[in-house]
Chain A
Amino acid sequence: MENFIYMLAPLLSIELFLVLFFGTLVGLLLGVLPGLGPTTGGALILPFTIVMDPLSAIILLTSIYCAGTYGGAITAILINTPGTPAAAATCLDGYPLAQKGEAGRALGIATIASAFGGIFSVVILVFFAPLLAEVAYQFGQPEYFALAIFGLTMLSSIGEGAPIKNLIAAAFGILISTVGKDFMTSVDRFTFGVNILTEGIGFIPVVVGLFAISEMLVQSTLLNQAFNRVTLDALKLPTLNDVKLTWKTILRSSGIGSFIGVLPAEGGTVASLIGYSEAKRWSKNPQEFGKGSIEGIAGAEAANNAATGGAMVPTLALGIPGSATTAVILTGLIVHGVRPGPSLFREQPDFLYGIFGAMLFSNIIFFILGFFGAKIFARVTLIPNKLLWPMVFVLSVCGTYSLNQSDADVWIMLAFGVIGFFMRRFGFSLVPVIIGLILGELVEGTLRQSLVIFDGNWLLFFTRPIVVTFLILSIAALLFPFLKRAKNSMTKK
């Protein structure tokens, strides 16, 4: 009961409610704008939260996360370009339905499915995160090491793109985390005598570089691209028949999305693709998919929004992010002096349940804003790139500089922008780099501390059941794509 009251905190304080409303509004705008999204937006907003108290700051970031994930659907349906990667599957049926003159119906079902998926996942978060935190109390250093390895292998195998490229990207992310003074011995590593590198490479310069600056460079290659915009008259409530047709899909996709979200994969992106394909598999009209099926829209949208709550489960309970955006939120927590993990549940339940409440109400707010303001938000896509991206650049540079008041961070950000551009060009996903960077210290620290505990004997890792379980799951995750490919080629023959 006490926890329930904590969840109402964003409604009981005018200040918190304004932050929540503002965050939801900004999240919607960021989601609507192709190329920007909750990850880039969260990273750009993070420096502005320095002057806020921790709860307000994290409410701002989480509401951007929830609303930004939904906002991508508006662009996906109206201009056939996903506002966020998580809305890619929504294009498949959203745009064809909009072309048939039913943009309002497509957006209506997307709004309902997104809000339901989001609320469903918050319920999962409220019940599941404390349970996971209880389990995590049993974890020692070796277990955390095995868990981090499991997370990274899962990310590589079920994340977007080629598994080996994902693994390389994750290893690259961990390697970045080794730059600077070794946190256990204070020995300089990869500093090349440059003073500014002894402090290490910060998370925000890397994330802003990889996402915002690389996207600006990508946009410079797309100047001649034309969008076919579908006009939107008004958002329509789905009919009773639409609800009958989609409720099972929405429920199934909400479950899928919440589960995928918990795994350290690419959160909403993978969830929406699986939600979409499962919706097609279970549909009575699979031939309608790709031609404007509302089940397709509902399946993708419920799943990607359900992944938001799911991804927060390991972030808060274990300190291991479930997606790139939750990695930004995790950084926000650390910047504000909050250490995520099992102890957070016992020491600061008011803070934690305040976040849960904010996520719940953010879903309700974007549902209302989506219905009444989709037409206005759709107009945001009219902002030309030639104006938008120079402004994003200014915000990226100032935001990155402001965290440590260091111009070195700005140069690092620009360097990672160029690296990110070429990584994307050659099919390397950026999310594993981010997750690798944030997990790097955990992986190395727990490995080294485990070896101290085991007196240097690696074999003792295999005497701990939880470690063995995670390592077996990691091997299974690594082999999964290859077995799947072998099975597919055998089926073809």
Chain B
Amino acid sequence: MEHMQGNNKRKTNRKLPSYFNDALIVSLVTIIISSILFYFTFYFDEVPQILKRGMQPATFPKGLLIIIISLTSFIYLFSLKNPWKEQEDLPKPFYYTFITLIFFVIIAKTLDFFLGLSVFSFIVSYLWGERRKLLLFFVAAAFPLLVFLFFETILNLRFPSGILTDLYYR
């Protein structure tokens, strides 16, 4: 994963023991989530014996989750012998992009789907270094509009209503 590496070297916390590494965090997160899902499988409805097709609906997911938990434990144990390559810290643009993604969801959900797309495209393009106004306009306004018109006219799709979309639909 060389391409994932930036220039930021990870600041290793010397107070943490050596086993507290990426492998442990990934394994713990996977096992915790899988365990929660496993717990939920006990709340799946059961079908009467006569309708049961081979097994109860919960049996297959339970089996899968047991496999995931077991294999995850294995990868952690193996990592003690063969540690994972240490990942470097994520650079700032990743966080900016991630936060903009959340902005998109909020705007698309509350104001307008295409406004969300335009805002996302503008901010990401700008934060990634684009400063030319014409190209910013193209990415943030012209391109989403072209895509909207294509889907609307050629594919006959109706997008969720919002402050901008409603102007077109009216």
Given contacts A223-B128, A390-B121, A398-B147, 13 further A-B contacts (CB under 8 A): A51-B154, A175-B64, A217-B97, A220-B93, A221-B91, A221-B94, A222-B6, A225-B3, A390-B139, A393-B124, A398-B148, A425-B4, A427-B84
In the complex, what distance in Å separates the CA atom of A405 from the CA atom of B87? 39
In the complex, what distance in Å separates the CA atom of A51 from the CA atom of B22? 46
Q: Is the CB of A387 within 8 A of B125?
A: yes
Q: Is the CB of A222 within 8 A of B26?
A: no
In the complex, what distance in Å separates the CA atom of A175 from the CA atom of B4? 28
Please give the distance in Å from A36's CB to the nearest CB on chain B: 15
* Interface residues in B58-105 (C-beta closer than 8 Å to A): 58, 60-61, 64-65, 67-68, 71-72, 74-75, 78, 84-85, 87, 90-91, 93-94, 96-98, 101, 105
- Using known A-B contacts A188-B44, A397-B117, A402-B155, determine if residue A390 contacts B4 with beta carbons closer than 8 Å: no
Stretch at the interface among A6-14, A273-281, A298-306, A447-455: A447-455
Residue pairs across A and B with CB atoms within 8 Å: the count is: 173
Q: Does A137 contact B (CB under 8 A)?
A: no
Please give the distance in Å from B110's CB to the nearest CB on chain A: 12
Q: Is the CB of B57 within 8 A of A168?
A: no
Q: Does A456 contact B (CB under 8 A)?
A: yes
- Please, which residue of chain B has its CB at the minimum distance from the CB of A179? B61
* Interface residues in A402-455 (C-beta closer than 8 Å to B): 402, 405, 407, 410-411, 414, 417-418, 424-427, 444, 447-452
Interface size on B, residues (CB 8 A): 72
Q: Is the CB of A390 within 8 A of B1?
A: no
Q: Of the candidates B30, B55, B75, which one forms a contact with A162 in the assembled complex, judged by CB atoms under 8 Å apart? A: B75
A-B contact pairs, 8 of them (CB 8 A): A50-B155, A167-B67, A171-B71, A189-B58, A217-B97, A425-B87, A447-B54, A447-B55
Chain A residues, Cβ within 8 Å of B55: 447-448, 451
Q: Does A365 contact B (CB under 8 A)?
A: no
Q: Is the CB of A402 within 8 A of B98?
A: no
Interface size classification for chain A? 35 or more
Interface string of B123-158 (1 = CB under 8 A from A): 011001110000100111001100110010011011
In the complex, what distance in Å separates the CA atom of A140 from the CA atom of B58? 24
Q: Is the CB of B143 within 8 A of A394?
A: yes
Q: Does A386 contact B (CB under 8 A)?
A: yes
Q: Is the CB of A48 within 8 A of B68?
A: no
Q: Is the CB of B54 within 8 A of A456?
A: yes
Chain A residues, Cβ within 8 Å of B143: 390-391, 394
